[in-house]
């Protein structure tokens, strides 16, 4: 990782972290635990206080956060937010030093990542798109799956840092490839959650003990990380957000648009995208995506809870 810093700087690169939400805060804290210095910026004052309490440094602007950084990591909700923090006189590209590495870990459109890499290259700034999967629990436990797009040399340099955040770290191809794989991930997760939600309602209406049924299902071919992570949400109707329906709705828009562009049919994915959109329209956008269960309950004439 030393090639991210010049000879006058410490061996470990100085990190700027932009975006300290549900995912960003625990991820930044894991870098602090791994011995990195982290200067953070976000819009919520309480998140900056949390970073400072964990040993990081709070900055009062993007420019201040990135000015001396070797590596800049961004974790914000969607493409418009990435563009807002990256471009313009107060943005990352105008204030980061040449040679810095920008790692965008947001989930955005592949084209946004390609455009960002091109614009950053004109400033001498290297870029990786590196969205993640694993949700809040994966972020806290530092076991995220990280899918990366960009150059091999930049990936190799960033890998030690990424290993403080996740367990499965793969270079998927050139700029934008990480986002394409993340879109596929979100497709699989949404379909899986929907299938689990339908099974839960079917089991309960059939009078089967739900806890016992989910345990045995998860031990066979129907088992999945989704079921492991979300079965307590289903059983307890606990839909506190780990990953909000609003964000999964955004991601389903990304995957359906990208699939249309390349001519890939998503018959099941399109249906689940509509079910996610419907749940959001019913006012459940701020709930965890396991709340797809509420949509199945409504369709089944069953009172919703949680």
pLDDT in tens, 216-245: 999 999 999 999 999 999 999 999 998 999
Nearest to 222 by CA among 190, 194, 196: 196
Separation of alpha carbons 164 and 144, rounded Å: 10
Please give the C-alpha separations between residue 147 and each of 128, 132, 302, in angstroms, as whole numbers. Answer: 10, 6, 39
Question: What's this model's pTM, rounded to 2 decimal places?
Answer: 0.90
Annotated active-site positions, please? 182
pLDDT of residue 113 exceeding 50, the answer is yes
Per residue in 26-73, pLDDT tens?
Answer: 999 999 999 999 999 999 999 999 999 999 999 999 999 999 999 999
CATH classification number, 181-299, choose in 3.30.2130.10, 3.40.50.720, 3.40.50.300, 1.10.1040.10:
1.10.1040.10
pLDDT of residue 303: 85
Neighbour tally for 283: CB within 10 Å: 9
pLDDT at 9 (0 to 100): 46
pLDDT band at 306 (very low <50, low <70, confident <90, very high): low
pLDDT at 5 over 50: no
φ, ψ for residue 124 (rounded to 5)?
A: 80, 20
Domain extents in the chain: 2-172, 181-299
Residue 8 has pLDDT above 60, yes or no: no
Average pLDDT over residues 97-109: 97
**CATH superfamily membership of 2-172:** NAD(P)-binding Rossmann-like Domain (3.40.50.720)
> What is the overall mean pLDDT for the chain?
95
């Amino acid at each position: 990782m030393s090639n991210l810093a010049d000879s006058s700087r410490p061996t470990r690169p100085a990190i700027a972290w932009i975006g300290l939400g549900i995912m960003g805060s625990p991820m930044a804290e894991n870098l602090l635990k791994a011995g990195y210095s982290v200067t953070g910026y976000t819009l919520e004052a309480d998140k900056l206080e949390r970073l400072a309490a964990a040993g990081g440094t709070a900055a009062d602007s993007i420019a201040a956060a990135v000015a001396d950084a070797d590596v800049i990591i961004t974790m914000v909700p969607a493409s418009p937010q990435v563009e807002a923090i990256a471009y313009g006189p107060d943005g990352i590209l105008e204030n980061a030093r040449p040679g810095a590495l920008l790692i965008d870990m947001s989930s955005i459109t592949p084209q946004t990542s390609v455009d960002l890499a091109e614009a950053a290259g004109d400033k001498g700034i290297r870029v990786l798109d590196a969205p993640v999967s694993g949700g809040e629990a994966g972020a806290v436990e530092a076991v995220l799956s990280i899918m990366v797009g960009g150059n091999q040399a930049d990936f190799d340099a960033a890998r030690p840092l990424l290993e403080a955040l996740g367990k499965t770290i793969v270079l998927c191809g050139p700029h934008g490839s990480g986002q394409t794989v993340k879109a596929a991930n979100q497709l699989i997760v949404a379909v899986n959650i929907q299938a689990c939600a339908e099974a839960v309602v079917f089991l309960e209406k059939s009078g089967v003990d739900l806890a016992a049924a989910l345990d045995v299902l998860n031990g066979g071919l129907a088992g999945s990380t989704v079921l492991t992570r979300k079965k307590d949400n289903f059983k307890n109707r606990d839909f506190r957000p780990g990953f909000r329906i609003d964000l999964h709705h955004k991601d389903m828009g990304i995957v359906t648009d990208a699939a249309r562009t390349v001519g890939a049919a998503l018959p099941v994915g399109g249906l689940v995208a509509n079910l996610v959109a419907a749940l959001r329209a019913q006012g459940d956008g701020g709930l965890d995506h396991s709340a797809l269960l509420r949509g199945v309950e409504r369709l089944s004439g069953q009172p919703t809870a949680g």
